[in-house]
Structure 1
Amino acid sequence: MMSFVILVALLIVFWAVGAYQRLLRQRKQCRTAFSQVDALALHRHELMPALVRVCRERMPQQVDALDALLAADKAILAAYAHAGRHALDAAAIAPLNEAEAALETALGAVFALVPHSDSASSEDLSRLIEELGAAESRMAFARQVYNEAARHYNAARAQFPGSVVAAVFAFTPVAALPDAGMRQPDRL
């Protein structure tokens, strides 16, 4: 009888360790996937000043739209940094989603002006928009990878035995990133 109790206790310990290791591994996958999105956001951020510079040369009357774009870009960079520092906490991801929406709106406003200006024929502007589009495509894929990792992690957290281990060791849920995409100008 005593050996049966010891055997059951060992099984429970091994089961808990296995569930703990699985949650750790999946949370690490979420962080790795998020770091890829963050790196691509930094690359997109590096392209924004050049885009604004070219647009200011070609559309000097659109200062407000360009300033709004720079402000949205700065806000999203801060939101990514904050989300990365706070271990993908759902509360840290919410401002990131809002910042992505604001950046998409600001880019949309600038891109709406491009076909109506003499900058539409600018080779530099065309190249920058193409680079931004490529960066956004890579970010969209990286977001999908992150969201899939987050979905698997959250599912493991919710299922027994992971739910017990998650409650004991404070494995918090992670939030999904938006599937936002950069709007392209109507024509160049």
Structure 2
Amino acid sequence: MNKKLKTTIAAVVVVLLLAGVFSYNSLVGKSQIVTEKAASIDTQLQRRSDLIPNLVKSVKGYTKHEEAVFARVDEAREKLLQAKSMPEKAQADGEIKQALGSLLAVVENYPQLKSDKLFTQLMDELAGTENRLAYARDEYNKAARSNNMSVQTFPNMIFAKIFGFKTVQYYQADKQAAQTPQVDFSK
């Protein structure tokens, strides 16, 4: 082999090595951002879960015959706390939104509850948490899109396969979350 060919081969190897290092570092960075954004969603879901027992307790003080609604809220909260994957969290999130919607519909029948200071404070905290949760979901999906594009586009896809990087699932609202909660006040 002549010297020119050896130099060319060495240059190609160095370029491929550098491309691999840059791709790997980029993939690691994007993966870490996805993890960070997922943790932000978890934090807000936990915050909301922590607020719910206090909200239910304050409503229970005014209502005595709404046990089915309270049970539904408790069940949805437990599902949310046990969810592990992003699709499970999205489904549980949808169920808890529906359960809270039912709870808030019950509140409409109790004007004195709506004026209760503790209740209004809890509702304000819950509304703030919902806003932060919506923002966290959006940020997670942006990070997921960036990660997935890196993992699926050339030449990163080659290094992603070599190093075991995979696409991540988007946070998607559960189909039932779009349904309006049904409340029967005839009981």
Indicate the residue corresponding to 1:95 in structure 2. 88
Q: Larger C-alpha radius of gyration, 1 or 2? A: 2
1:100-146, Cα deviation, whole Å (9 max, x unpaired):
11111101111111111242332222211111000110111111111
1:62 aligns with 2:66: yes
Indicate the residue corresponding to 2:48 in structure 1. 44
Selected match of 2:137 from 136, 143, 147: 143
Selected match of 2:150 from 139, 147, 156: 156
Indicate the residue corresponding to 1:126 in structure 2. 120
1:18-65, Cα deviation, whole Å (9 max, x unpaired):
111100000001111111221122111111110110111111211111
| Long gaps (5+) in structure 2 | 181-187
Q: TM-score, normalised by structure 1?
A: 0.85
- The root-mean-square deviation of aligned C-alpha atoms, in Å, is 1.7
Give the conservation status (yes or no) of the 8 Å contact 1:140–1:179.
no
1:23-38 alignment runs, 5 A limit: 23-38=27-42
**Aligned partner letter, 2:121:** R
Secondary structure of 1:160's match? Answer: coil
Distance 1:179 1:49 in 2: 23
Secondary structure of 2:108's match? Answer: helix
Give the conservation status (yes or no) of the 8 Å contact 1:52–1:66.
yes
Indicate the residue corresponding to 1:178 in structure 2. 172
Distance 1:27 1:60 in 2: 49
**Aligned partner letter, 2:154:** F
1:78-93 alignment runs, 5 A limit: 78-79=82-83, 82=84, 92-93=85-86
Distance 2:94 2:156 in 1: 34
Secondary structure of 1:52's match? Answer: helix
When the two structures are aligned, how many residues end up with a matched partner?
171
Indicate the residue corresponding to 1:88 in structure 2. none
Secondary structure of 1:70's match? Answer: helix
Distance 1:72 1:169 in 2: 38
1:111 aligns with 2:115: no
Q: TM-score, normalised by structure 2?
A: 0.85
Distance 2:42 2:89 in 1: 11
Distance 1:162 1:73 in 2: 40
Give the conservation status (yes or no) of the 8 Å contact 2:80–2:92.
yes
| C-alpha deviation, 1:179, in angstroms | 5.8
Identity of aligned residues (%): 23
Give the conservation status (yes or no) of the 8 Å contact 2:76–2:99.
yes
Distance 2:153 2:122 in 1: 46
Distance 2:65 2:116 in 1: 17
Indicate the residue corresponding to 1:86 in structure 2. none
Indicate the residue corresponding to 2:184 in structure 1. none
